[in-house]
Amino acid sequence: MAKTQQTQQERRADTRQRLLTAARDLIAERGVAGASVDALAEAAQRTSGALYAQFGNKDGLLLALVDHWKDTTANAIAAEFEATPDIERRLRALWGNFVSPPDGAEAWVLLEHELWLYACRTAAAQAQVADRYQTAREQLASALPAATPTAAATLLIALMIGLEMQRRIDPDAVSDELALAGLSALLSC
C-alpha cells in the first residue's frame, strides 16, 4: 500500500509541475484571458479536471505559479540581506533579483503584471492580490532602515515595478545604475 501511495504522490507532483510549466508558457505568451483552462490542461497533457483538482481554478494556478517564483526570489533576496547590513548592497541585491530573478524565473515579473491586470478586472481576485502585496511590503519593511519602513517598502516596490516595466520595453532607458540611484534616493542613502 505504501508503494501505491508513493506512486500516486509522484503522479500528483508530476501533474502539478506540468500544469505550472504550461501556465508559465501560455499565460506569459497569451495573457490570463488568452489561456483557457482547456488550453492549459492540453499544454500540460492533462485534463481540465486535473487542473481543478490541483489548484481549484485558473486563478489558483496563476497564484501558485507567481507565488513559487516570488518565494524563490524573496528567499534569494533575504539570504543576500542577511549577508550584509550595508543598505547599498541590499538595494543592489533587491534590484538585481527583481529584474533577473534566480531559478530561471524571468517570466515571473511579466506574470506578476498579468496577475495585477487580472485583479483589476476581477473583483474576486483583488483581495488575494492585495494580500500578496501586503506580505511583500511587510517582508521588505523589516529590512529597511527608514523611519517609516512600511511606507518606504510601498514606494520601493512601486518604483521597482515602474522601472522594470520601462526596462522591459526599452532596456537602454533603465540601467542598473539609474535604478539603484532612484532606490537609494528614495531611502536617502
CA distance 109 to 168: 10
* Lookup result for grid cell 539603484: 180
What are the backbone angles phi and psi of residue 77, rounded to the nearest 5°?
Answer: -65, -45
pTM: 0.74
From residue 168, how far is each of 18, 27, 113 by CA, in Å? 27, 17, 12
Task: Please give the helix or strand (H or E) that residue 70 lies within, else none.
Answer: helix 58-83
At 162, is the pLDDT very low, low, confident or very high (cuts 50, 70, 90)? very high
pLDDT at 103: 65
Q: Give the residue with greater pLDDT, 67 vs 181.
A: 181
Crossing angle for the helix pair 108-121 and 123-141, nearest 10 degrees?
130
Which domains can be identified in the chain, with CATH numbers?
1-56 (1.10.10.60), 59-189 (1.10.357.10)
- CB of 157 closer than 8 Å to CB of 136: yes
pLDDT at 1: 52
Q: Give the residue with greater pLDDT, 100 vs 103.
A: 100
What are the backbone angles phi and psi of residue 84, rounded to the nearest 5°?
Answer: -145, 135
| 125-157 confidence digits (pLDDT tens) | 788 888 888 888 888 888 887 677 889 999 999
| 68-79 confidence digits (pLDDT tens) | 777 777 788 888
Least-confidence region, from 19-23, 110-114, 133-137: 110-114
CA distance 96 to 118: 26
pLDDT at 12: 93
Residue 6 φ/ψ region, left for φ over 0, alpha for ψ in the -120 to 50 degree band, beta for the rest: alpha
CA distance 92 to 38: 41
What are the backbone angles phi and psi of residue 148, rounded to the nearest 5°?
Answer: -125, 80
At 86, is the pLDDT very low, low, confident or very high (cuts 50, 70, 90)? confident
Q: Mean pLDDT score of the chain, rounded to an integer?
A: 86
